[in-house]
Amino acid sequence: MNELLLPGISIDCIIFGFHTNQLKILLLRFKNTDFFALPGGFITKNENLEEATQRILKDRMGLLSDIYLEQFYVFGNKNRRPDDVLQKIFDAIEPPRELRKFLSERFISIRYYALIDFTKAIPTTDAISDRCDWWDLEEIPTLIFDHSEMVQKALATLRLTLEHSRVGLNLLPNTFTMNELQVLHETILGQKLVRSNFQRKILSTGRLERIEKRMTGAANKAPYLYRFNGTMAAD
């Protein structure tokens, strides 16, 4: 199998989900270790880059479509994978000789962040991991190599593009209240927003449409439901 893979290049994914007002991130743990990492994989010689990324996400999450992906950075520091940590992983998972040789080479990592529907994903382990779980962003453990830096880069990119991207479209249900959308923005930004200012600003984008049907409750108290319009979905 190793001869089918492009040497020296890996793909790693920062997979975001949103549930119970918490921004989640998917992490795996290497077998027989306390080393946590971002999920990822490699590119075969007959795959396009995004085809490989979609395959990796399918294997990891069981998702076939509707995965929003953004390539946001390439990590290529020559010292990004300390030899002592890599050796401890090898000792724990005991990879075959050829795979050990392949993994020992210097790698540059192409990074994507993915926004997925938390309720549709099925986190799945593989041959070298014994856990694959969602973590609240504020509670993630120390990650190996430069993966913690990668999470921070992905989050910074998410914050910069929040108002003009499909973040809400991919992390919220089809219909939602204005308060739910505001909570999502506050969670990603890590700060409280003034309700009136947020509502005025988000409605001015023209990307939302209000549904006349309100949520269950007293007519004078139940909030309106909203959804992203076709313009947003096409971005």
Here the tokens at position 193 are 């927003």
Report the pLDDT averaged over residues 32-55. 94
β-bridge pairing 22-30 and 36-37: antiparallel
How confident is the model at residue 65, as a pLDDT? Answer: 62
pLDDT at 161 over 70: yes
**Residue where the block lists tokens 């049907």:** 213
Would you state the pLDDT for residue 234? 47
- Given a cut of 60, whether residue 208 has pLDDT beyond it is yes
How many angstroms separate the CA atoms of 30 and 12, rounded? Answer: 15
pLDDT of residue 59: 86
Percent of the chain with pLDDT over 70: 91
Give the Cα separation of 28 and 134 in Å (integer). 9
121, pLDDT greater than 60: yes
Q: What's the confidence (pLDDT) of residue 232?
A: 53
Distance CA 186, CA 180 (A): 10
Q: What is the mean pLDDT of residues 205-225?
A: 75
* Bridge partner residues of 42 (DSSP): 10
pLDDT at 63: 66
Most confident listed range (1-15, 74-88, 168-182, 215-229)? 74-88
Give me the DSSP letters along 177-205: EHHHHHHHHHHHHTS---HHHHHHHHHHT
- pLDDT of res. 120: 80
Do 118 and 22 touch, CB atoms closer than 8 A? Answer: no
Mean pLDDT estimate for the chain: 88
Per-domain boundaries in the chain:
2-160, 167-234
Give percent of the chain with pLDDT exceeding 90.
Answer: 63
pLDDT at 69 over 60: yes
Evaluate if residue 49 carries a pLDDT over 80. yes
- The more confidently predicted of residues 107 and 1 is 107
CATH fold for the domain made of 167-234: Arc Repressor Mutant, subunit A (1.10.10)
Average pLDDT over residues 174-187: 91
For domain 2-160, the CATH superfamily is Nucleoside Triphosphate Pyrophosphohydrolase (3.90.79.10)
Say if residue 214's pLDDT is above 80.
Answer: no
DSSP per-residue string spanning the chain: -GGGEEEEEEEEEEEEEEETTEEEEEEEEETTS--EE--EEEEETT--HHHHHHHHHHHHH---S--EEEEEEEE--TTSS-HHHHHHHHHHH---HHHHHHHHS--EEEEEEEE--GGG------TTEEEEEEEEGGGPPPBSTTHHHHHHHHHHHHHHTTTTSSHHHHHS-SSEEHHHHHHHHHHHHTS---HHHHHHHHHHTT-EEEEEEEPSS-TTTSPEEEEE-HHHHH-
pLDDT at 201 over 50: yes
User: Measured between alpha carbons, how far is 169 from 118 in angstroms, rounded to an integer?
Assistant: 13
